[in-house]
Amino acid sequence: MGANMGSNADENIRPDYDRVIQDIADYVLDYEIASAEAWDTARFCLMDTLGCGLLALRFPECTKHLGPIVEGTVVPHGARVPGTQLRLDPVTAAWDIGCIVRWLDYNDTWLAAEWGHPSDNLGAILAVADYLAQKQSAQGRAPLTMRDVLDGMIRAHEIQGVLALQNSFNRVGLDHVLLVRVASTAVAAKLKGASREQLLAAISHAWVDGSALRTYRHAPNAGSRKSWAAGDATSRGVRLADIAMRGEMGIPAALTAKQWGFYDVCFSVTNADLQRKPEAERQFQFPRPYGSYVMENILFKISYPAEFHAQTACEAAVALHPQVKDRIDEIDRVVITTHESAIRIISKRGPLANAADRDHCLQYMTAVPLLFGNLVAEHYEDDFHAAHPEIDRLREKMEVVEDKRYSAEYLEPDKRSIANAVQVFFTDGSATDNVAVEYPVGHRRRRAEGIPLLQQKFRANLATRFPGRRCEDIVALCADAERLMAMPVDEFMDLLVI
């Protein structure tokens, strides 16, 4: 009996940390960021991300989530939430910053096998850096500077983006905020001064957490959780980093443990899938090492607060507005030619239940600019939708078709297009031009055109929260890369307090 029991027992030999976990830790600790383009783009990304958060403060459905769990909580050296008077512990501040950044679906985007919004990690980065900088200044030590914040942004973008290149979490029903949690955990731990062992432990716990389901992003359950899910993930990253810094042991085979690890539990659709696929195909694939590629190629949402797969459709629809605005009642059909990911994620028919449902509907995001010549956050709200039944009437006339070339070039590393084309056909047999836009204005290929527009967007968003002189001071600071990077984080955050 003893022999049989022994043969059924697992060998309890503690393994080395999974290579994926080690690679992330080594990148965070050792990689030297030499790309001038990455540093510049990170600065623009900081501006845009903060602006998106400030704009979201106009929406009560967002602000109801902000503040301490216990009213009146006082936190020494508490991290600030931009555009407010809140001073919170870093875990709660990361939640709040992540929530406002993501609320309007207007911050940057990464599209590959998996999607996501790497600037969501700014919740963890700013919260930890502001708290530490205040504490360091109070102790007479040199505080963290904004260079540390930009450094953290480049690394968090890279971790989230490289993990997304060939690994589709959405195809097994998992949400991309998992990657925010992993990246935030790693970078928050680095900011807190983690050793390699502490970093490994923190990252392992981020994987063991598993992942949220994508249920809240898709019909018929699409809802506002998608607007705070990143705040939840980046906040959890700060908490896990703190746990590891207190000396908590890690979980070395968090990914590869048979039956209990992330690969077997979360990254396979069924047990049959496990049996069919070779082990190598059940694990993450990495077409490139970590560097600064993701920040250099990040996609900015400059013109429209819309899910990114629809950005070029919005641009095409705005271009067509002059041709259709006086012939709305004559429209017979609208053909949207798009790529496979857009069809899978945001093509919807039928009623749209709320703002979150509407800003993830390709047809809605095309109909509004066709009708009104623009698309802004208020166009998703219930009162606007109820006042304009013509939007849904136009949606009913829409056909969505895939262009195989668009789908292929969406995944090509040297292109990464996000193409859409829109054409309107009228009842008399005439038609508009077929307006195709393959690269949105926020794409790397359109940086020269896009950055001045991004700066205008930043100015406009600042003006929703601060008086004119403060806006000009912040804009001037952000335009001066050398001065910005040298500024202590706590002094920078002082400028963002109401």
pLDDT tens sequence across 352-387:
999 989 999 999 999 999 999 999 999 999 999 999
**Would the pLDDT of 4 be above 80?**
no
In angstroms, what CA-CA distances link 185 with 136, 179, 493? 21, 10, 22
Handedness of CA 437, 441, 443, 444 (dihedral sign): positive
Q: Considering Cα of 387, then 393, then 396, then 399, what sign does the dihedral take? A: negative
The pTM score is 0.88
SS3 365: helix
Residue type, 424: V
Q: Mean per-residue pLDDT for 424-451? A: 96
In contact, 162 and 189? CB cutoff 8 Å: no
Predicted pLDDT at 276: 59
Q: How far apart are CA 82 and CA 147, in angstroms?
A: 18
Tracing tokens 């979360």 back to the chain, one arrives at 266
pLDDT above 90: residue 12: no
Cβ proximity of 486 and 147 under 8 Å: yes
Torsion-angle region of 259 (φ positive above 0: left; ψ -120 to 50: alpha; else: beta): left
User: What pLDDT is recorded for position 109?
Assistant: 92
Residue 255 is predicted with a pLDDT of 97
The dihedrals phi and psi of 116, each to the nearest 5 degrees, come to 160, -175
**pLDDT above 90 (res 236):** yes
Find residue 110's DSSP bridge partners.
Answer: 116
Question: Residue 1's pLDDT band (boundaries 50, 70, 90)?
Answer: very low
Does residue 206 carry a pLDDT above 90?
Answer: yes
In terms of C-beta distances under 8 Å and separation of at least 24 residues, what long-range contacts does 243-248 make, across chains too? 243/202, 243/205, 244/189, 244/194, 244/198, 244/199, 244/201, 244/202, 244/205, 245/189, 245/192, 245/193, 245/194, 245/198, 245/202, 247/198, 248/201, 248/205
Whether residue 8 is predicted with pLDDT greater than 70 in this model: the reply is no
In this model, does residue 272 exceed pLDDT 90?
Answer: no
Residue 270, pLDDT score:
54
**Confidence grade of residue 14 (pLDDT, cut at 50, 70, 90):** confident
Which burial class, exposed, middle or buried, applies to 60 when counting CB atoms under 10 A from its CB (0-12, 13-18, 19+)? Answer: exposed
pLDDT of residue 411: 87
Q: What is the mean pLDDT of the chain?
A: 94
pLDDT confidence of 219, banded at 50, 70, 90? Answer: confident
- pLDDT grade, residue 281 (50/70/90)? low
DSSP, res 65: T
Residue 344 has pLDDT above 60, yes or no: yes
Residues 133-181: tens digit of each pLDDT? 999 999 999 999 999 999 999 999 999 999 999 999 998 999 999 999 9
In one letter, which amino acid is 165?
L
